[in-house]
Structure 1
Amino acid sequence: MTAPTSRLDAVLFDMDGTLIDTEPVWMASEARLAADHGIAWTAADAEALVGVDLWDGARTFIERGVPMSADAIVDRLVGEVLSGLGDDLPMRPGALELLRQLREHEVPVALVTMSTRRIVDRVDAALTARLGASPFDVTVAGDECERGKPHPDPYLLGARLLGVEPDGSVAIEDSITGAASALAAGMTTIGVPHAVDVSQVPGIVHWPTLEGRSPADVAAAIRKARA
């Protein structure tokens, strides 16, 4: 099958909270880290790290008094998240079906996440087993980007690896930080809320959920964003 519109050159997905419901696992790991060092940690603190580059998040903990290196903090959090991920990934509503439809329509798809390569490969393998083939043409991990979200670099890298231009591509995000990254890269950006309210981000197309959405809906977001 061919793409539903020539305007939809590619779709680039965030992972945590957008495709996979891993935000609770990350938040629990961060809360344990803070508690282990006697640091007060609130829901607002947790929300502030959603979608943020892991090393930037680690520096937040260091500034709050955690006596560990940024690499050690990231290693601890990633290890706990990997331990908390089962083989049956907790998909966000509509995510698996949209990935399947994009593959059927031969729309190039990238995964662009601040999670590390270890987590990306685990998720990709699990999704490949469920779908019969990887839903992603390329994947970008946080430990492969010199500057993470909210900088545009991760999404620009994803577009470059796909061989597409940002202005014909759509990014799908659940965080303020991630949406800022995609917008800065020049992509039409769909915000789907989960752990944080992305409705405050100007310039994005707001969807309450991915459930029931099709490649044609994603393509229509480009026209809506430019209207």
Structure 2
Amino acid sequence: MSADALRGTVTTVLADADGTLFPSEEPAYAASAGVTNRFLAELGAEREFSPGELQAMTNGKNFRAAAQELARGYGRDLAAAELDDWVAQEKDVVTAHLRAVLGPDPAVREPLRALAGRFGLAAVTSSASSRLDACLEVTGLAALFDPARRFSAEDSLPVPTSKPDPAVYALAGSELGVSPDEAVAVEDSINGALSAVAAGFPTIGTVQFVPAGERDAREAALREAGAFTVVRSWAEVADLLTA
């Protein structure tokens, strides 16, 4: 996929949220760690895990998928009601924390405004809709993403799932009426890139909010996951699609 080919056909930008539209991943894992460690203790974990360890174990997946995976590692199959209770606890804690720590970022908002003048914007996330809505609100991005153009793997699908499952991207394409020739995804995580690529969408990797010391490794991993290019800012995304 070339940038020239994209500029000739793309009408829609499908943006991941956490780590892509705002730097929410590190604070989210910091807030989530208490709930996750209580959950792990009930499974039989013999020690607590740091937010960094938890992020490395589950990056790009929502808490529902992470909890199921962790439970299987301890030989447990969670009942639906039990899983739903843990998911609700984690969502409330993390959403409240993100409301408190996130804020507007001109380096994101201004390029997105430029893109919105030429493309339809949609958010495609593994996170819960309420968390997405809160983050868009406090970062000043809500007006750029119409509520009907926000897709959550936790809430928008008949059965909740998480990236790298491509279902949420497939749903977004279907609901928006866009084919893989007409939309491009922007993703920061490996699981997110795998999800978008599996759904057929050309994918731009971004490392804007990845810690500087990890960017080279993440860039290589995003390319391996199928991203056709990797950028370091939303300004580069805008340049790529509008030059």
TM range (shorter): 0.7 to 0.9
- CA offsets per residue over residues 28-61 of structure 1, 9 Å max, x none? 1332234443544253442231111432112134
CA distance in 2, matches of 1:131, 1:64: 38
Choose the corresponding residue for 1:199, options 220, 223, 227.
220
Give the aligned residue type for 1:79. Answer: D
CA distance in 1, matches of 2:123, 2:87: 20
Cα offset, 1:219, TM superposition: 6.1
CA RMSD of aligned residues (A): 2.9
- Of stretches 178-187 and 210-219 in structure 1, the one that deviates more from structure 2 is 210-219
Choose the corresponding residue for 2:153, options 142, 155, 163.
142
Give the alignment of 1:7-86 within 5 angstroms: 7-36=9-38, 37=41, 39-41=47-49, 43-63=52-72, 69-86=82-99
Q: Which has the higher helix share?
A: 2
Go from structure 1 to structure 2 and tell me whether the alpha carbon gap of 1:135 and 1:35 turns closer, same or farther (over 3 Å shift).
closer
CA distance in 1, matches of 2:102, 2:204: 23
**Retained in 2: the 8 A contact 1:17–1:92?**
no
SS in 1 for 2:145: coil
**Retained in 1: the 8 A contact 2:59–2:191?**
yes
CA distance in 1, matches of 2:221, 2:136: 31
- The answer as to 2:182 corresponding to 1:168 is yes
Give the aligned residue type for 2:202. Answer: T
Cα offset, 1:90, TM superposition: 4.0
Per the alignment, residue 116 of structure 1 pairs with 128
Cα offset, 1:62, TM superposition: 2.9
- CA offsets per residue over residues 88-119 of structure 1, 9 Å max, x none? 734677322221111122x1111000111111
Give the aligned residue type for 2:128. Answer: T
- CA offsets per residue over residues 166-222 of structure 1, 9 Å max, x none? 2331100010000000000111111113267252242313434124325341368xx
For structure 1, the residue ranges without an aligned partner over 5 or more in a row are: 221-227
Per the alignment, residue 202 of structure 2 pairs with 188
Per the alignment, residue 233 of structure 2 pairs with 210
CA distance in 2, matches of 1:217, 1:121: 27
CA distance in 2, matches of 1:132, 1:58: 29
SS in 2 for 1:172: strand
CA distance in 1, matches of 2:170, 2:8: 20
Give the aligned residue type for 2:132. Answer: V
CA distance in 1, matches of 2:117, 2:173: 20
For structure 2, the residue ranges without an aligned partner over 5 or more in a row are: 1-5
Once the two structures are aligned, what percentage of the paired residues are identical? 27
CA distance in 1, matches of 2:131, 2:54: 23
Give the aligned residue type for 2:175. Answer: L
Per the alignment, residue 3 of structure 2 pairs with none
SS in 2 for 1:25: helix
Equivalent pairs counted in the alignment come to 214
**Retained in 1: the 8 A contact 2:31–2:97?**
no
